[in-house]
């Protein structure tokens, strides 16, 4: 397996923003201006956004780390990079520590008790990943191909197109993204280029993809043997 790109590395930090400024002493415009200077944000929040979308900052950088997007909601901070969710998490924590030192916000390491993640990657696989070892699915693709070829009077070839695992949305209050693997848009299926999204840290996401590919390789070897 070869990673083509990290498309999204999003970390969600669940924390009450009001708790960071319990006495209302922080003047938001001063804070936002200082953030803009420190992180070189190219897009700053608009006054009317808070009720609808949260406070949005875009295209920032500090050191070698590039921030794609930072959104501050009433009870959530979301930071996106295209490097790794570990970078995104670290940037949130560093931002809050800086805010504590410069503006006196009420934050200490460990104040955030829960994090969430969304990881998007594209990658090339050494073997076709979708449908291997599942004869009923392959049969369904072949029968669909034959039926559509007859309907359209031209060759139409169907293949297994995507795979996903997810939780029962009725079993928990808040939904979580499924783990998805699908053929990459604009790439031929024969290229074995895929897109995957998972509600996991980037490194865990990639490790699970590598393990899945290894399992598919064993299936291919067993079928050929």
What is the C-alpha separation between 192 and 203, in angstroms, rounded? 21
Please choose, from the candidates 20, 27, 198, 40, the residue with its C-alpha nearest in 3D space to the C-alpha of residue 121. 198
Please choose, from the candidates 181, 56, 192, the residue with its C-alpha nearest in 3D space to the C-alpha of residue 120. 181
Q: Output the six-digit token pair for 140.
A: 């369904």
Containing structural domain, residue 205: 121-224
Residues 6+ away with beta carbon under 8 Å from 15: 75, 76, 77, 111, 112
Same domain as 141, residue 92? no
What is the C-alpha separation between 123 and 193, in angstroms, rounded? 6
Same domain as 109, residue 22? yes
Higher pLDDT, 161 or 174: 161
What is the predicted pLDDT for the residue at 52?
A: 66
User: At which of 93, 117, 141 does a domain end?
Assistant: 117
Domains identified in the chain, total number? 2
- Output the domain CATH number for residue 85: 3.30.310
pLDDT tens for each residue of 22-37: 999 999 889 999 999 9
pLDDT tens for each residue of 116-159: 999 999 999 999 999 877 889 999 999 999 999 999 999 999 99
Residue 49 has pLDDT above 80, yes or no: no
Same domain as 136, residue 67? no
In a domain, 162, yes or no: yes
């Amino acid at each position: 397996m070869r990673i083509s790109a990290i498309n999204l590395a999003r970390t969600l930090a669940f924390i009450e923003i009001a708790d960071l400024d319990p006495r209302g002493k922080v003047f938001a415009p001063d804070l936002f201006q200082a953030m803009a200077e420190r992180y070189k944000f190219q897009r700053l929040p608009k006054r009317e956004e808070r009720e609808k979308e949260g406070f949005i900052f875009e295209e920032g950088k500090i050191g070698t780390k590039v921030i794609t997007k930072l959104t501050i909601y009433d009870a959530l901070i979301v930071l996106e990079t295209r490097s790794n969710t570990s970078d995104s998490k670290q940037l949130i924590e560093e931002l809050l520590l800086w805010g504590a030192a410069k503006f006196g916000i009420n934050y200490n390491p460990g104040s955030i008790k829960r994090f969430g993640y969304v990881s998007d990657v594209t990658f090339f696989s050494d073997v076709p990943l979708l449908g291997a070892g599942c004869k009923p699915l392959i049969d369904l693709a072949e029968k669909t191909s034959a039926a559509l070829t007859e309907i359209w009077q031209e060759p139409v070839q169907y293949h297994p197109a995507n795979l996903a695992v997810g939780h029962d949305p009725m079993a928990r209050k808040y939904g979580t993204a499924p783990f998805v693997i699908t053929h990459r848009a604009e790439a031929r299926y024969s290229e074995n280029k895929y897109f995957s999204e998972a509600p996991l840290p980037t490194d865990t996401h990639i490790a699970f993809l590598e393990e899945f590919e290894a399992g598919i390789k064993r299936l291919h070897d067993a079928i050929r043997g």
